[in-house]
Amino acid sequence: MKNLISKFWAIGLIFLISFNSLYSIDNHLLELKANTSFTFFQLLNQDRVLFEDSVEISDKKISVQDTVIPINSVSLISSNSQFIDKFLIDRKNFFSPIHLINWQTNSFLLDLGLPSNFYDFSLFQADNRSTSFLINNYELNDPLTNIIDLRDLRFDEFESIEIIFPTRSFLLSRYNNPATIVFNEWKRYSSIPYSRIKYIEAPYENLFFDGMFNVNLTKKINFEFGITKHNALGRFINSEKDLWAGKLKSTYYLSNQLNFNLTYRYSKSLARFNEGINLNNPLLEPGEPVENILYDNQRALVINDDAYHKWTNHRINFQTLFKLSDFSLTQMDFYFNQSLREFRDNEHKADSLRVFKNYWSKFLGFELKENANFSFNQLELHLRFEKSLIESPVNDFTFLKKIDYQLMGYAFYELNLFERIKPSFYVKYTGINKIEDIFFSYGTDLTFKISNKVNFILGYSDFDQILSYDEKLFSAITGLKNIRTRIFSGRFSYSTDNLKFNLESYYREAKVPSFVYSDYRSIEYNGSIIKPYPELEKLFGGKFDVQYSFWKVNSTFSVLFNDRIQNFNETTFHRIIQPRFQSRFEVYYRDLLFKSSLDLIAGFRVNIFSSFSARSFSPSNLYFVDVRTYNDTLFNFASIRIPSNFTIDLFASGRVKENAIVYISIENLLDRKFYLVPYYPANDIQFRFGIAWEFYD
């Protein structure tokens, strides 16, 4: 009965919002028709029918008909997001933007310390498989596993990184994930050619190169090209990472009301998996702790010297932006994605069981989004249709091939009252194939701007998080398809010229529709994953930030807290798989030197984390689990406690005459010896150097 009421409530709200928006837009169009007469083709041929006849630039009047004004996509969902801007991306962290995101948000990065192995990035305790990653409005997650390899992205093409407010995250996700990150694409319109070259060098032959070029081929056609090469051999046997990635993009500005974008992205990576240091080591003395040899390249023997995978992605997107007027923007996208992951183990060993697994996923989609802004009302309507083809090995003898159709859409309505109070309401429909796989979700939040210095946000959402294809396969015994999830989240901020104070918190409750008891530990067994789904799971946490600047010195202090409680058949388990407490401290000095030709930043950062329960990484399934085979025996890695620890980094970056950025860092300055995943030694002390050079000719 409760679900039925929720469905009627959601349908009613969509109808009410749609009717209100159409009525208001129609009134605006009637007003326009009274003063303006035009046809559709006249609209395309004129640059600005609904605007003034000219604009003033540098005391000269230039006809708007000769001025190209690019159309930018907008999203109401971003109105209360946290942003990481271009300055932070370019100047504060040359190591990896993933580490930068981790530093700026309430998250934890499980870094194995090897260039080839996966990160398990946990945002608001939502891991890789529960976090959606998008470029603009295009979702990158592979539909088979609901993950991507973040190291395969070209981060230099992004203008900013956006952390969606938790209660709104499910709206942009294919599987209604509770966390979402959007990478906003860098855009440029200029007849002056622009090129950028970036080079980074780090220990263990870790080399990175990125190049990009952008120019207007004609007044109405812009062209962009980018390429990335990353190669790192790693410290141990079978730990290499190799990547080629590229991008081609062309934009056609037919008029100031109609733009077209065609984008192709390609990536192909090789990642080798050695599964960490082997404890059954003849070079390890009896009773000697394994920590003694973790960083000894001569004595440390790895478990696997042959496993690897190759991951190839092709992404094509054709976008149309149509701006009828100042209060209306229509966006249409046609896209195609093909992903092939080839996993191999014991490929060159005649006396071992050889593993050859190919994971295919292809999907073709259409997306339509309408933004309307009228008076104090703002509306965003979104519709997405996808056809997915999944091919995946179940085991050595069974192969799964599945075709699915997904239809999803949401309505987002925001009321702007005097620029002080902004209540928002949103609903979403998701349908997969059969009529019983239909999910309704909804949420609301309130933004209250008390003054120019004080801002407060409070939100709630209720939605079904849908399992990915491989997770459905793992839980085939229970038939579980979705997890009902509720999120409460709030954020309070206070800012002045020199002081910024921020406090945010979240509470997430996940409940399975029909509970089937299972072991509370996740287990990798016979090439598959047995994953526990508690009857009820509660995840909660918060983050406290203080930023203070004085003279030319800037400082940031953060305290993070995260915890979770799981209930299995009325039995409560209180176990955390990431630090409950983290503390971060950063101080840097910024000044203009040498007659303002050098913009210098130099400082240090400290990261402290508490102990937590360990897990192990499964290369074949790209999963972190509690129990898996170790030296031919099932071993419970959750029995290992990762001790608390800390790291200190030094960094400096300088922009030279607006053309070049030079970056130097010393990471893990005190050369701390530890691991976050048994038994993968974290990076020891490392010196990193990078340079990015821009050319305008």
Report the alpha-carbon distance of residue 349 to residue 223 in Å, rounded.
Answer: 48
Burial class (CB in 10 A: 0-12, 13-18, 19+), 19: exposed
Among 392, 394, 411, 415, residue whose Cα is nearest residue 402? 392
Q: CA-CA distances (angstroms) from residue 166 to 9, 276, 414, 460, 487?
A: 22, 34, 17, 9, 7
Residues ≥6 apart with Cβ < 8 Å to 49 = 36, 38, 42, 43, 257
Mean pLDDT of 450-477: 86
Q: Coil, strand or helix: which one is 575?
A: coil
The H or E element containing residue 399 is: strand 399-415
When pLDDT is cut at 50, 70 and 90, the band that residue 455 belongs to is very high
Mean pLDDT of 350-377: 88
pLDDT score of 347 more than 60: yes
Report the alpha-carbon distance of residue 320 to residue 369 in Å, rounded.
Answer: 10
pLDDT at 175: 93
The 82-84 sheet, strands edge to edge:
82-84, 158-163, 179-185, 131-135, 138-139
pLDDT score of 476 more than 60: no
Higher-confidence residue of 181 and 39: namely 181
pLDDT at 299: 84
pLDDT score of 666 more than 90: yes
When pLDDT is cut at 50, 70 and 90, the band that residue 165 belongs to is very high
Among 542, 540, 561, 539, residue whose Cα is nearest residue 502? 542
pLDDT score of 656 more than 70: yes
Report the alpha-carbon distance of residue 379 to residue 401 in Å, rounded.
Answer: 39
Q: Is 594 left (phi over 0), alpha (psi -120 to 50) or beta?
A: left
Report the alpha-carbon distance of residue 67 to residue 125 in Å, rounded.
Answer: 48
Mean pLDDT of 144-166: 90
Report the alpha-carbon distance of residue 665 to residue 689 in Å, rounded.
Answer: 7
* Domain boundaries defined on the chain: 172-695
The string of pLDDT tens digits covering residues 578-621 is: 999 999 999 999 999 998 899 999 999 999 999 999 999 998 88
Share of the chain above pLDDT 90, in %: 54
Cβ proximity of 335 and 317 under 8 Å: yes
Report the alpha-carbon distance of residue 97 to residue 198 in Å, rounded.
Answer: 14
pLDDT at 264: 97
Q: Mean pLDDT lowest for which of 29-38, 494-503, 591-600?
A: 29-38
Higher-confidence residue of 461 and 151: namely 461
pLDDT at 505: 97
pLDDT score of 355 more than 60: yes
pLDDT score of 10 more than 50: no
What DSSP state is assigned to residue 116? S
Q: At residue 615, what is the residue type? A: R
Q: Name the token pair of 172.
A: 């942009």
pLDDT at 651: 94
Length of the chain in residues, anyone?
A: 697
Which CATH number among 1.10.3720.10, 3.30.590.20, 2.40.170.20, 1.10.510.10 corresponds to the domain 172-695?
A: 2.40.170.20
pLDDT score of 24 more than 70: no
**Greatest distance between any 2 Cα atoms in the chain:** 91
pLDDT at 115: 78
Among 577, 512, 490, residue whose Cα is nearest residue 165? 490
pLDDT, averaged across the chain: 85
When pLDDT is cut at 50, 70 and 90, the band that residue 236 belongs to is confident
pLDDT score of 396 more than 60: no
Question: Any bridge partners for residue 275, and if so which?
Answer: none
Cα–chain-centroid distance for residue 118? 14
pLDDT at 77: 93
Q: Coil, strand or helix: which one is 241?
A: strand
pLDDT score of 51 more than 80: no
Report the alpha-carbon distance of residue 692 to residue 273 in Å, rounded.
Answer: 31
The string of pLDDT tens digits covering residues 329-344 is: 999 999 999 999 999 9
When pLDDT is cut at 50, 70 and 90, the band that residue 557 belongs to is very high
Q: Is the pTM of this model over 0.85?
A: yes
Instruction: Give one DSSP letter per residue of 304-368, joined into a string.
Output: -SS-EEEEEEEEEEEEEEEEEETTEEEEEEEEEEEEEEEEEESTT-TTS--EEEEEEEEEEEEEE
Report the alpha-carbon distance of residue 100 to residue 155 in Å, rounded.
Answer: 12
Buried b (16+ CB within 10 A) or exposed e, 130-155: bbbbbbbbbbbbbbbbbbbbbbbbbb
Mean pLDDT of 291-314: 88
Q: At residue 505, what is the residue type? A: S
